[in-house]
Amino acid sequence: MNHTALQLLLAGLVVLPLVGALAALLPAPPGLRGKNPDQAVLRHGVTVTGVVLAAAIALAAGFDHGHPARMQATTDISWIPALGIRIHLGVDGISLPLLVLTALLTFLCALYSYYRMPTGPSPKAFVALLLTLEAGTLATFAVLDLMLFFLAFEMVLIPMYFLIARWGGAQKQAAAWKFILYTLLGSVVMLLGLLLIGVKTGTFDMVALATDNGPKAQLSHTVQLLAVLAIGIGLAVKSPMWPLHSWLPDAHTAAPTVGSVLLAGVLLKMGTYGFVRIALPITPEGMHTFAPYLAALAAVGIIYGSLACLALVRKGAGGDLKRLIAYSSVGHMGFVLLGIASMTPTGVNGALFANIAHGLITGLLFFMVGALKDRTGSTDLDTLARSAPGPRPAGSGAAALLPAPSGAALYARAPRFGGLLAFGAVASLGLPGLAGFWGEMLAMFGAFRPAAGLSRPAFLTFMVLAGLGTLLTAAYLLLVVRRVCMGGSVDLAGAAVLGAADPDGETGADPDGTPAPAAAVPDLARYEYAAWAPLAALTVLAGLWPAALLGLTDPAVQQLLGGGK
């Protein structure tokens, strides 16, 4: 595909959602209104996001895969000459997978909302906000000017705030305010760091600044330290890095289903992408100084996220499944930050792979948890487990400990739904052969042998902590499957009891021991197959064929870390 066609495709990716957002607010033409105006605007959202996805796929198909390190589909137009700000767009092997992921997830969210619109105000505003959010996210991954990056970075905050505040669940106003205040505060600090780089070098061009013999040579060690500290804080809030993560669980728990999918699947990637695109190549000396601290906080985040999930899954803790998956994101994104902190091609490639894997897997899990709430009215783990089977027949030995879901367990009541939920859980815990495995493994390999000058004993310690985190992750996700899908009651202070009588009534049995009748749980609907099957298929494909993604990212990462060489 020629350069002009690629230019138009990339520009269309950014502009088309904005045009679609404006069109969503206008009255529908008479021929497109149909019987229901609300469905007409939701159909408009599906159409626009579908066209954007088609453009992203066409861009990926026309991309020169033989030279993924080279910026392609570039557009460079002077915008504000007095400040040296340009409309500079481009795509390479680092940003291309994120552009496609964003377009895919937004289309699937629009498709899901067409059939399952969240409760709230007019669908017109909902679709307009969804498309504006997509435009801001795509722009973040496509722009190559520091000021445009900041504007795109901020552009997503307002749509997500309103999606949480207007279409969210319990405590939505408090969660929305917490989200916007945390992220805005981080962004203000990040802006100072970006301006410092621009003032000292005389340019905001990210490509020029990433070259060793370019303008970044004017950045002294002290300036790099200040810039990394300021930019890093803003990016760390969005990543989210412990201890700047506390906005995330509340936002996820209160957000509507599609809000949670986009927040976890796309918005969190903006922070880690900024570390790779800006901090690593433009301020390498500053990153080298702060890398051990970033790795330490990442390792703490991995352990903290896993322990928080274990506390939530414990019987009687009143844990919320949606909140648990939000805390799991703190741990998973810790692996991404650990890979970046290693400052090695292996670690950074692992971080980029883990970014994509997390978007696919956690997007699928949030879709399913939202659907589970629609079916059962709750995401409280104790409530979900109370629909477990009644007492098992008497038995002894190992067979008595095996899960045997009865007609009340999710596996028996909705086998395809339960099976897909279990698939998402085992993919999230990093099972070999699925997408979640490769990113975490490569991030730990990067920590095993960090960049020259970084303390290897310290990074080996962080690697061991990350390895412990994988074991804890497996523990809590398997317990989630046991409680929700198999109907087992889990008491971490004692043993896991599968289908045994429970004095708290968690088995759902009547006082005389007779199993209570199970409420009907609809299995997967056709629109759910359509919205979730691509995520499951790509999770398997990326796990079995990691070279498809690593072949794109590795040359670009090598060039980025090599100062443009």
Task: Give the pLDDT of residue 99.
Answer: 95
Degrees, nearest 5: CA angle 237-249-236: 10
Question: What integer is the mean pLDDT of 463-479?
Answer: 92
- Identify residue 250 by its one-letter amino acid code: D
Q: Say which range, 149-158, 379-388, 424-433, 520-529, has the weakest mean pLDDT.
A: 379-388
Higher pLDDT, 110 or 502: 110
Q: What is the CA radius of gyration of the chain?
A: 24
SS3 label, residue 89: strand
Q: Which of 76-80, 182-186, 389-393, 532-536 has the highest mean pLDDT?
A: 532-536
pTM of the model: 0.88
Residue 463 CA neighbour count, 13 Å, CB half: 19
Question: What integer is the mean pLDDT of 150-168?
Answer: 90
- pLDDT of residue 560 exceeding 80, the answer is yes
Confidence bin at 400 (pLDDT 50/70/90): very low
Task: Give the pLDDT of residue 143.
Answer: 93
SS3 label, residue 117: coil
Average pLDDT, the chain: 84
- pLDDT of residue 513 exceeding 50, the answer is no
Rounded percentage of the chain residues whose pLDDT exceeds 90: 44
Question: What integer is the mean pLDDT of 329-345?
Answer: 92
Task: Sort 514 into a burial class: Cβ within 10 Å, 0-12 / 13-18 / 19+.
Answer: exposed
Summarised one tens digit per residue, pLDDT across range 260-288 is 999 988 998 999 999 999 999 998 999 99
CA distance linking residue 123 with residue 508, whole number of Å: 39
CA distance linking residue 345 with residue 446, whole number of Å: 8
Going by DSSP bridges, is the β-strand pair 488-490/496-498 parallel, antiparallel, or unpaired?
antiparallel
Degrees, nearest 5: CA angle 37-39-44: 95
Summarised one tens digit per residue, pLDDT across range 188-231 is 999 999 999 988 888 888 888 888 777 777 888 899 999 999 99
Contact 308, 252 (CB under 8 A): no
Confidence bin at 564 (pLDDT 50/70/90): low
C-alpha pair distances (Å), 290 with each of 294, 343, 412: 6, 11, 51
Q: Which residues of 520-555 are buried (b: 16+ CB within 10 A; e: fewer)?
A: ebeebeeebeebbebbbebbeebbeebeebbebbbb
CA distance linking residue 406 with residue 390, whole number of Å: 8
CA distance linking residue 317 with residue 382, whole number of Å: 8
Q: Which of 501, 530, 494 is nearest to 515 (CA)?
A: 501
